[in-house]
Amino acid sequence: MNKTIIININSIVFHIEEDAYETLRSYMIEIKRHFGNSEDSREILEDIENRIAEMFSERIQTGRKEVINREDVDQVIAQMGRVSDFDVEIDDEPRAEAEPKAAFADQAEQAEPQQEESKENKEQNADFGFTEYLTSKKLMRDMDDKVLSGVCSGLGHYFNIEAKWVRIIFVLFFLFGGSGVLLYFVLWAVMPKATTRADKLAMRGEQANLHNFKKSFDEEMKGVRENFSGAGEHISRGARSVGNSLGSFFSVIGKILGVLVLIWAGLSIIGMFIFFVFNVLNIMGYTNDLFFDPLEVLDPTSAFFAILAGCAAIIIPLLAIFFIMLRVVFKTRPMNNYASMSLLAAWIVSIVMILYFVVVTNQDTNQESTISVEKTIEPKDTYILSENDIRVIKTTDEDFNNNRENGFKVGSLVGNYLRKDISLNIEPLDSLKAPYLQYNYFAKGGSYADASNRAGKINYSVKQEDNNIYFNSHFTLQEKQLIRAQHVHVNLFLPVGTKVIIDENLQNKLREIETWNCKAEGNSKTSEWIMTKSGLKCILKLEEEKAKAEEERLEELKEQKKEKEKKAKEEADETKKDKTEATSEDKESSTVDSNA
Amino acid sequence: MIAENTQTQMRKGILEYCILSIISRGEIYASDIISELKKAELLVVEGTLYPLLTRLKNNGLLSYIWKESTSGPPRKYYQITSEGMEVLKRLDVTWKELVFAVEISLQNREI
């Protein structure tokens, strides 16, 4: 019993036994290499293939002999001739042309044009000979010499480097930036396994025509080659013992890394799954804290598909890594093709879905609308600003009933109705004008009307009680609707000179001032501000500055005083000195006088 | 080495001449050319012929047509072109000269 392979020569199908196929294949590669890669050679190869196909079909007798065996191939090759036989009959071999020039010196004149032409041929042949030598090698994973999957040894065969150097390069790549891992997996996926004998030959680039290859070099080159390979052997023998221990070392490191990646991928998958479940619960109305905010721009059905797609887009690559690692570490069987293909398809679909949701949502938010409402407030010298958390029912409050009612109303609303995107600015106003509030309601939509409709359904107001101004913590939407960047911006205009006391719970709405920078020791709840022409100023800071300025002024005065004293002293010293000098001079002159 | 080269050169020129003259008789299939050359013991293996045919064709001395075959793939049938005919005539002349020259040279020798 023999395994047969189906081959196709010039679009005719033959069944051929495996060993016969390998013989034929190496023969064809030999011929291909002999003729090079030029336009001419393609035609020649085609002719030869055609002829082989013809000879095969002559040998096949339907019903009696339907498979080409080794004997047939041998006979066909004998009839067609080995590459070495071609050389004897015509001079396509470079060697045959190099010398005739000298040998036929007399006839050179006559033979000139032909010589020239064949010289060109020769160069061409030589060129193709080299590229063919490289390209006819196949990049495959060497299953006989592997640490993880034979990628490195396959690369080594391809580039004629020992596999362990490739491995070391990969480990270095991994240590510096981790890029080696990605490259490794890509190569793993791309490079086929070398399983059959023909594959292994192709991988090593060792064809049956080694003798032919040698023949094309003259004696000198042969010597060089032998020396070279001899040296190579010598080196490799020395390195082998090192290489073996390195190999086992790397396999241990590889296993450990594999297990780590496996754990990481597994945990990530579980995490993503939990994230998915809680998001779905959120979408279904069971609110919890684990919510992916951007989802709120979608209606529940779309949001479900969006989170499904999003999680799939992340989980599927993680799964791929997980399974690959499983294969590496525990040598399990590869996932079956259908499963992996359908996962890939699911991944692509999820990416497309995400893109779809992004595009559609963008389409629905390209118009923006603002509704602006102004409301005067009672003029006071001092305002106390604080946040009113409408989710909390304040039973201790004076107007308990009012708040309770409010609280019940809010309590019946689900998360989607309560929104927090509120900002507050406090702006200066001429001291003679009356203070007022300006509400700006924003929303986006596919059209302007859509957007302003949404903006109009935002409920937000500020309540004044004497000096107190309460800012609600949330705004509400009148009905269940999609979130399209709805937000509220409140401008509070106060006359210059007004004192403002801000509760720290309002900080989350304030953009331009920072209450924690303006707190007295011991009083951590509120901060005091005063309105000036350039906006709110912290009273504490102003006082500090004043005090500092005062201090500086005092300091300066002190300095000046000191200076003055110093000057006076210096002056006094000088006059004193003058005096002593004068007296000594007098003395001197008197001695001079006495000497004289 | 030199002897081998000389032989190769001589064979090559003669082989091309013979192929041209075989084809000049009318359109012919490559393997028929081979069997004739084998009979004449000029050629041993078929693989040698295809590069030669391709070269002659590319130089414009030959052309071919595809013909359906009863027993396999379609076959290439070769014909000589008018240019090929001219080359062949010149080669005929050269051949006669060569034969004469060789005869003269070998006159007084036993081979």
- Model confidence over A400-416: pLDDT tens digits? 455 444 444 444 444 44
Are A89 and A68 part of one and the same domain?
yes
In a domain, A180, yes or no: no
Choose the closest CB to A90 out of B48, B54, B58: B48
Neighbouring residues of A106: CB distance < 8 A, sequence distance ≥ 6: none
Q: What is the pLDDT of residues B89-106, one digit of tens each?
A: 999 999 999 888 888 888
pLDDT on residue A152? 83
Of A441, A445, A485, which is closest to residue A294 (Cα–Cα)?
A: A485
Residue A225 resides in a domain:
no
- The domain total for chain A is 3
Identify whether residues A97 and A119 lie together within a single domain: yes
Asked if residue A175 belongs to a domain, the reply is no
The pLDDT tens digits of the residues spanning A351-392 come to: 899 899 888 888 888 888 888 888 888 888 888 888 887 776
pLDDT at B30: 83
A9, A57 in Cβ contact below 8 A? no
Whether residue A430 is predicted with pLDDT greater than 80 in this model: the reply is yes
Indicate the residue of A35, A54, A85 with minimum beta-carbon distance to B73: A54
What is the count of structural domains for chain B? Answer: 1
Structural domain of residue A341, as residue ranges?
A: 254-363
Whether this prediction's pTM lies above 0.80 is answered by no
Instruction: Name every residue in B having a CB less than 8 A away from some CB of A.
Output: 1-2, 4-6, 8-9, 11-12, 15, 30-31, 43-48, 50-55, 58, 69, 71-73, 75-76
Identify the pLDDT of residue A106. 39
Q: Tell how strand A382-388 and strand A468-472 pair up.
A: parallel
Residue B110 lies in a domain: no
Strand ordering across the sheet containing A367-376: A367-376, A436-445, A487-495, A422-429
Q: Is residue A25 part of a domain?
A: yes
State the best of A45, A49, A51, A61 to mutate against chain B, taking most chain B CBs within 10 Å: A51
Residue B111 lies in a domain: no
Q: Of A479, A511, A533, at which residue does a domain stop?
A: A533
In a domain, A195, yes or no: no
Residue in chain B nearest A81 by alpha carbon: B45
Choosing among A10, A54, A87, which should be mutated to test the B contact, i.e. which has the most B CBs within 10 A? A54
In a domain, residue A193? The reply is: no
Which residues in chain A have their CB less than 8 angstroms from residue B53's CB? 47
Residue type, A255: K
**Residues of chain B under the 70 pLDDT cut:** 1, 44, 71-72, 111
Length of chain B: 111
Domain stop point among A504, A533, A562:
A533
Q: How confident is the model at residue A212 (pLDDT cuts 50, 70, 90)?
A: very low
Do A357 and A373 belong together in one domain? no
Which CATH number does the domain housing residue B38 bear? 1.10.10.10
CB contact under 8 A, A51 and B11: no
Same domain, yes or no: A310 and A351? yes
Is pLDDT of A16 > 50? yes
Report the residue from B5, B72, B75 with minimal CB separation from A96. B5
- Whether residue A2 sits in one domain with residue A106: yes
Q: Are A359 and A396 in a shared domain?
A: no
Same domain, residue pair A108 and A14: yes
Q: Are strands A382-388 and A499-503 parallel, antiparallel or unpaired?
A: parallel
Residues A373 and A519 placed together within one structural domain of the fold: yes
Count of C-beta atoms within a 10 Å radius of residue A513: 19
Continuous segment of H or E residues that includes residue A325: helix A300-330
Q: Is residue A95 part of a domain?
A: yes
Is A58 in Cβ contact with B72 (below 8 Å)?
yes
Asked whether residue B21 is domain-assigned, the answer is yes
Residues A298 and A344 in one domain: yes
Q: Are residues A271 and A345 in the same domain?
A: yes
User: Which of B4, B5, B72 lies closest to A57 in CB terms?
Assistant: B72
Contacts of A307 (CB under 8 A, 6+ apart): A276, A279, A280, A283, A292, A295
Domain match, A394 and A525 both: yes
Question: ipTM score of the complex?
Answer: 0.82
Half-sphere exposure at residue A52, Cβ-oriented, CA atoms within 13 angstroms: 31
Token pair, residue B100, equals 């004469």
Of the three residues A479, A512, A533, the one that is the final residue of a domain is A533
Q: How far apart are CA A425 and CA A471, in angstroms?
A: 12
- The answer on A505 and A372 residing in a single domain is yes
Strand, helix or coil at B51?
helix
Judge: A81–B45 Cβ closer than 8 Å, yes or no. Answer: yes
Cβ of B50 within 8 Å of Cβ of A90? The answer is no
The domain of B37 spans 2-105
Task: Identify which has the larger pLDDT, A310 or B2.
Answer: A310
Is A123 part of a structural domain of the chain? yes
Concatenating the DSSP letter of every residue in A365-430 gives TSEEEEEEEEEE----SEEEEEEE-TTS--TTSTTHHHHHHHHHHHHTS-GGGEE--EEEEEEEE-
pLDDT of residue A179: 61
